[in-house]
Every structure is written in structure tokens, then in C-alpha cells.
Amino acid sequence: MRSNTKGFSLAELVVGIVIFGVISASALGFLVASTNTYGSLSANMNMRMEAQLAVNQISEYLIDCNSGVYWYDSTKSLCVLRTDGGSTTAHVFELNCESGELLYGKGEAVYRNGAYEYSVSPADLLVDNAVGFDVALISNDGEGISCAVIELKLETRGKTHTEERTIALRNKPEGKNIL
């Protein structure tokens, strides 16, 4: 008894430190878990927003398309031809499967021998983390393309989000799904 009256012994200190360690470790566990939850939720929201924005951008080009729209399934490439004041521009959206980037490019298209010719290699990033891009062009009455169904799939931190939208084309341009 007498040895305990003057101060803490080493054994008491060690027990105290171990208890403190266990309590702070469990507290840290909660902290890390909530930080992770916050991080994945905000990444998820961000991904949804980016997907919406990207599909919005593509539909902006599609809605007023007036000279042709073509979907190349093998290269995951969508070409939108638009004529404005005499000159025709080809807007191309293409998924690079390796880098997960949906790329955009545009260039002049020239009408020759009954078809538009253009050479565009998309290089400008539209949206990152893309794992799927599919378009179906639909012709309801056989007079050109009346609507397009876009499906864009993004993936971050193991979670995926698919943004799907059907867009009505005002001018019913000619077009084709090329497999």
C-alpha cells in the first residue's frame, strides 16, 4: 500500500496508455469510416452530374442536326453533321475504351459523290471515367432519323452510373447505325 501513495507505478501507466489507445483507435475507426462515406458519396454525385452534363452537351449537337447522323458501333463513334450557312461541320464523339475518355472533335465535311466526306480524329476530352457509350438511331416512319437513344456509362471508385436519354431530332436527318 505504501508504494502507491507517492505516484503512479509503471504498470498503472501502461494500463492507462493501453486503455487510451483502444478508445482512440475505435474513435479513429468511426472518423475514417465517415470520411470514406463522404468521399464516395460526393464522388458518386459528381459522377452523376458529369454524366448528365456530357449527355446534355451531346444532345445539343443532335437536336439541331440537319445533314446526317451516323453511329459506328465497332469504334463507339457518333458523327453528327450540321450545315450552317453553306458549310457543313462534322462533330464526332468517340469513346476511347483504353483510357476511359469520351473524346470530341470537329472538322469540315465536304459533299462529294452523294455523300459527306470528312476526316476528324477526336482529341478533346468531353468526360473522363467513361466505360460505356452506346447510341441507337431510330427511324419511326422511314423518313430519316426521328430520335436517338444515348447511353453513357461512367465508373468511379467501383460504382457505375448509366445516363440514358432519348432525344427527338427536329430535322429528321438521314442516318444509319453501322455495326
Distances in Å between the alpha carbon of 98 and those of 49, 67, 94, 128, 158?
23, 31, 12, 11, 17
Subset of 78-137 contacting another protein (CB under 8 A) = 104-106, 124-128
- Dist CA 27 CA 23 (whole Å): 6
Q: Which residue is listed with cell 465517415? A: 34
53 near another protein (CB under 8 A):
yes
Of the pair 10, 115, the CB lying nearest another protein is at: 10
Mask: binding to another protein, 1-40, rule CB under 8 A, as x and -? -xxxxxxxxx-xx---------------------------
Q: Are 173 and 66 in contact (CB under 8 A)?
A: yes
Question: Residue type at 161?
Answer: H
For the CB of residue 22, give the shortest distance to another protein in the complex, in Å: 18
Name which position in 51, 61, 65, 109 contacts another protein (CB under 8 A): 61
Of the pair 49, 178, the CB lying nearest another protein is at: 49
For the CB of residue 139, give the shortest distance to another protein in the complex, in Å: 25
- Dist CA 164 CA 135 (whole Å): 10
Name which position in 15, 22, 49, 168 contacts another protein (CB under 8 A): 49
Distances in Å between the alpha carbon of 85 and those of 21, 68, 104, 179?
74, 16, 22, 32
- Dist CA 86 CA 50 (whole Å): 34
Residues that bind another protein (CB under 8 A): 2-10, 12-13, 49, 53, 56-57, 60-61, 104-106, 124-128
